[in-house]
Amino acid sequence: MQNQLEVTDLSIQLGGKTIVHGVSLALQSGELACLVGPSGCGKTTLLRTIAGFEQPATGVVRLHGKKVAEAYNSAPPENRGIGMVFQDLALFPHLTVAGNIAFGMHGQPRTAINRRIDELLELVGMSTLRDCYPHQLSGGQQQRIALIRAMAPRPALLLLDEPFSSQDMERREQLVQEVRTILNKDGITAMLVTHDQHEAFAFADSIGVMNEGQLLQWDSAFDLYHRPRSRFVAGFIGQGVLINAQVLDKQTLQTELGEIYGELSQQLPPGSKVELLIRPDDIIHDDQSPIYARVAARLFRGASHLYTLELNNGTRVLCLAPSHHNHQTGEQIGIRLSLAHLVIFPC
């Protein structure tokens, strides 16, 4: 299958400063992807360059095999067949819902435009609001109209720049699911930019983690969580702590929680000092275990407790336990490790 988007060794400079360094990635047709990272890491600049609003200093951008950007030479945004949804929605207040959706389809026969408007409004369950104006819509309804307006011309690629950030948490989760369903139904390739990893997990097939202008890892949500390739990705994705360990052999570590067996994420000589990534779901509350830890803090989450546990040497780890395991701060509880992936980093 041909890639819908290919970015090769892309670097971007703004004001004489390099903002993005040598990024390469690819999206297949119909794939949904996401860029995550802290504020200022370069993810929005990368998105704007793909769209054509910024120029690359080095590297190439291709859409469906056709080169659309290289060093200081780019096709204009309107010639790229890309749709973009911005954070501020930017609906035209003087146009109806139908008028907003039709805006990007100028030049097409009126019957085709009306058919596409009806199709998209039905897709988002808003057929009865065709003649309403933006001020008559809720925030969530405006969000859906902004999305289908960008989808209306059937772009080769849809780019979304933190479009859900103005919504409350509950509404945001619902919108992310709705948007994913809509894009899948229409077969549109899309890339979302967000700083919210949970939003990325819910939306994307592939996720790229960026920091300081570099793409550190491009992977599935599962592998980013369970097989992070750097300390930054391990700390940014999910929750977890790094505990001291020593390599005993190719599949054994010695830790303060005893010997642990499994496939190591990298091979190091016996005796090597490393840090082992421990996620909250790696530690199981088990009253029969000979290993105990003190409850230093707890966070009730309804279906579960997130416990902060202190080991004998003062190291603190996290433990996710069912909510009926109700323990108070200061209690000693039994724990055991259940690790499927031994992610280690040399000290």
Domain count, the chain: 2
Question: Do 78 and 97 reside in the same domain of the chain?
Answer: yes
Same domain, 210 and 282: no
Shared domain check, 47 and 105: yes
Q: Which has more pLDDT, 143 or 32?
A: 32
Q: What is the CATH number of the domain that holds 270?
A: 2.40.50.140
Query: What are the backbone angles phi and psi of residue 282, rounded to the nearest 5°?
Result: -85, -15
- Looking at 217, 234, 251, the residue that finishes a domain is 234
| 193 and 321 belong to one structural domain | no
- Last residue within a domain, chosen from 191, 211, 234: 234
Same domain, 209 and 245: no
Task: Look at residue 172 in the predicted model and tell me its pLDDT.
Answer: 78
Same-domain status, 96 and 206: yes
Residue 4 within a domain? no
- Is the same domain home to 203 and 246? no
Q: What is the pLDDT of residues 147-195, one digit of tens each?
A: 889 888 888 899 999 887 767 777 778 778 888 888 888 889 999 999 8
Distances from the Cα of 257 to the Cαs of 286, 313, 322, in angstroms?
14, 10, 22
Distance of alpha carbon 307 from the chain centroid: 26
DSSP string, 210-257: EETTEEEEEE-HHHHHHS-SSHHHHHHSS--EEEEEEEEETTEEEETT
* Structure-token pair, residue 51: 């769209």
pLDDT at 88 > cutoff 80 = no
Mean pLDDT along residues 268-285: 94
Of 164 and 260, the structure prediction assigns the larger pLDDT to 260
pLDDT of residue 220: 96
101 is written with which tokens?
């959706």
Domain containing 219 — which CATH number? 3.40.50.300
- Could you tell me if residue 275 is inside a domain? yes
Task: Judge whether 218 and 46 are in contact, CB under 8 Å.
Answer: no
Residue 90 has pLDDT above 80, yes or no: no
The predicted model gives 59-64 an average pLDDT of 95
Domain identity same for 149 and 93: yes
Q: Considering the domain boundaries, does residue 250 fall inside one?
A: yes
Mean pLDDT, the chain, as a whole number?
91
User: 250 and 225 share a domain?
Assistant: no
Q: What is the pLDDT of residue 68?
A: 95
158 vs 1 pLDDT, higher one: 158
Query: Looking at the domain assignment, is residue 1 inside a domain?
Result: no
Same domain membership, residue 331 and residue 200: no
pLDDT band at 21 (very low <50, low <70, confident <90, very high): very high
**What local confidence, expressed as pLDDT, does residue 166 receive?**
67
Domain boundary among 173, 203, 234: 234
More confident position, 123 or 15: 15
89: confidence class by pLDDT, cuts 50, 70, 90? low
Q: What is the DSSP letter of 314?
A: S
Same domain, 33 and 132: yes
17 assigned to some structural domain:
no
Sequence-separated (6 or more) residues with CB below 8 Å from residue 121: 97, 101, 127, 129, 130, 148
Please tell me which of 11-25, 119-133, 172-186 the model is most confident about, judged by mean pLDDT: 11-25
Instruction: Judge if 207 and 299 occupy the same domain.
Output: no
Kindly indicate the confidence band of residue 1, based on its pLDDT and cuts at 50, 70 and 90: low
Domain that holds residue 181: 29-54+68-234
